[in-house]
């Protein structure tokens, strides 16, 4: 079945287009939906920041480096959430910096946990290998709780939709 194309009416000398009598009325355009992802990411960031702070206040650490890394997760995730709330060029930069910092802190936490696992397995024999397995599982939980949200959020921030939300896309100014 061949589709037939209708010819467009050529503008007359006055410059206005004449529509043919059998032309259908133009369908009304739907209003563009507003992107909800920045709001959702900001809510997740603040919720995770409160969750991390609650956990750190319930189980404080005596190791200064570990405490600094753990409090760094709280600061980085709140920074990313604050950047998502501010809808301008600086908000985008703050959100990208917060997500990048949280990913770096996540990698540092993983390195520390895996170094501890290797020490346990090497020094304490079979009992240490069991503890090392638990430490590796804790590393998987760290990736899940600290690494997935900023990875997806950073991916959104680097896409055209994320840049458009913050006014970064030069085509949409």
Confidence of residue 115 (pLDDT cuts 50, 70, 90): very high
The pLDDT assigned to 165 comes to 84
Q: Are 23 and 6 contacting, i.e. CB atoms less than 8 angstroms apart?
A: yes
In 25-64 the beta strands, taken as DSSP E runs, fall at: none
Average pLDDT of the chain, as a whole number: 84
Residue 65: what pLDDT? 81
The 10s digit of each residue's pLDDT in 9-25 is 555 555 555 555 565 66
**DSSP bridge partners of 11:** 17
Q: In angstroms, rounded to a whole number, what is the distance separating the alpha carbons of residues 162 and 98?
A: 15
Confidence class for position 125, pLDDT limits 50, 70, 90: confident
pLDDT confidence of 160, banded at 50, 70, 90?
confident
Q: Do 98 and 46 form a contact (C-beta atoms < 8 A)?
A: no
pLDDT in tens, 37-60: 889 999 999 999 999 999 999 988
The DSSP symbol for 144 reads I
pLDDT tens across 93-103, in order? 999 999 999 99
pLDDT at 61: 83
Q: Which of 109, 112, 90 is nearest to 101 (CA)?
A: 109
pLDDT of residue 1 exceeding 60: no
Task: Say if CB 157 and CB 96 are below 8 A apart.
Answer: yes
**Strand ranges inside 39-96, DSSP E:** none
pTM > 0.85: yes or no: no
Q: pLDDT band at residue 32, thresholds of 50, 70 and 90?
A: low
């Amino acid at each position: 079945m061949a589709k037939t194309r209708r010819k467009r009416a050529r503008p007359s000398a006055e410059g206005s287009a004449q529509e043919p009598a059998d032309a259908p009325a133009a369908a009304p355009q739907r209003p563009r939906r507003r992107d909800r992802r920045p709001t959702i990411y900001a809510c997740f960031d603040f919720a995770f920041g409160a969750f991390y702070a609650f956990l750190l206040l319930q189980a404080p650490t005596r190791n200064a480096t570990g405490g600094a890394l753990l409090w760094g997760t709280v600061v980085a995730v709140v920074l990313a959430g604050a950047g998502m709330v501010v809808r301008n060029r600086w908000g985008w930069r703050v959100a990208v910096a917060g997500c990048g910092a949280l990913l770096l802190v996540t990698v540092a936490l993983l390195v520390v946990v895996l170094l501890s696992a290797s020490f346990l397995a090497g020094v304490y024999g079979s009992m240490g290998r069991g503890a090392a397995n638990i430490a590796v599982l804790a590393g998987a939980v760290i990736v899940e709780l600290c690494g997935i949200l900023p990875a997806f959020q950073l991916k959104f921030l680097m896409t055209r939709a994320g840049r458009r939300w913050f006014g970064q896309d030069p085509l949409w100014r």
